[in-house]
Amino acid sequence: MINILITDGMEKTSLEELKKMNYNIVEEHYSKEELFQEVKKYNILIIRSATKITKDIIDEARKTNNLQLIIRAGVGLDNIDVEYATLEGIAVRNTPSASKTAVAELVIGHILNMARFLHHSNITMRNGEWNKNIYQGIEIEGKTLGIVGFGRIGRELAKKAKALGMKIKLYDVITPIINNKEYEFSDLDELFARSDFISFHVPHKTGEKSMIGREEIEKMKDGVYLVNCARGGVIDEDTLIEALDNGKVAGAAIDVFMNELKPNPILCNHDRVSITPHIGASTREAQWKIGQEINNIILEFWKESKLSDNIKTI
């Protein structure tokens, strides 16, 4: 029987479907020390962002050679040492398509929030204030949205923003599209200089230098709005706070943080920041899609690799 460990939870409907497939499934979140002991028992590991699969955990798994597949329920793979796992013969998969609509819609929501002071006016009205004359916003129609990273989420965002009348400028280091009739591709410096809003959809690994620091922000239009629903650390948080304070950046929308669970309190409480606690994929629809994609990955991998051969039980 195939032994599956789910460490960070899974959508209930898809989980019930998986249980009907005659797998031995354990749902348990382990500390890193506990995972050292437990990982050796399993053939498939399903994680989200909370569990980190590092080289030393992979080494423990290889002591029994049971672990053959790691599935990240989500897009980013920065919490898995993918290169080392692959080198050790462990396949790594993610669910890149499932959350594209949810994340793109969250970005649009943040843009509207910043443009029209939705959060501020909600809070102040609950406090008995009537600040109609203070909250003069801007219309997003006709404004230029720069999208950095034109993968699945970037493409979905471009489609939705264009439908709202925004002009779209794109930059992608991997897949530039020349002479695209719908969108304008440009180099990064031009995108910075001409965009009213910039949304980032690129990977980032903990410990790496931030893509956006002081030098990059200086190249941007005065009064730019920045959105990061990708990975914490894409934008250097201290530099962002400085740019918000001096007015170079008019507003920022942040769903991901350099230190999640305990994010920078200055950033979170800044009156020009729209914040959410990493909820990009937190819709019922996205979670169901993620669960379905996980089940399909397991079925396909089982067929292709004959995973059922030589399986040990717990």
Could you give the CA distance from residue 30 to residue 49 in angstroms, rounded to a whole number?
13
Residue 142 neighbours by CB distance under 10 Å: 10
**Secondary structure class of 94 (helix, strand, coil):** strand
Say which of 83, 129, 139, 260 is annotated catalytic: 260
Say which of 152, 155, 204, 231 is annotated catalytic: 231
> Tokens in use for 245?
């304070």
Look at residues 262, 271, 215 and name the one whose alpha carbon lies nearest to residue 241. 271
> Tokens in use for 40?
């050796």
Q: Is 119 a catalytic residue?
A: no
What lies within 8 Å, CB to CB, of 172 at 6+ separation is: 148, 149, 150, 151, 154, 185
Q: Is 278 a catalytic residue?
A: yes
Say which of 29, 194, 272, 278 is annotated catalytic: 278
What lies within 8 Å, CB to CB, of 100 at 6+ separation is: 152, 153, 155, 156
Q: Is 129 a catalytic residue?
A: no
Give the catalytic positions in this structure: 231, 260, 278
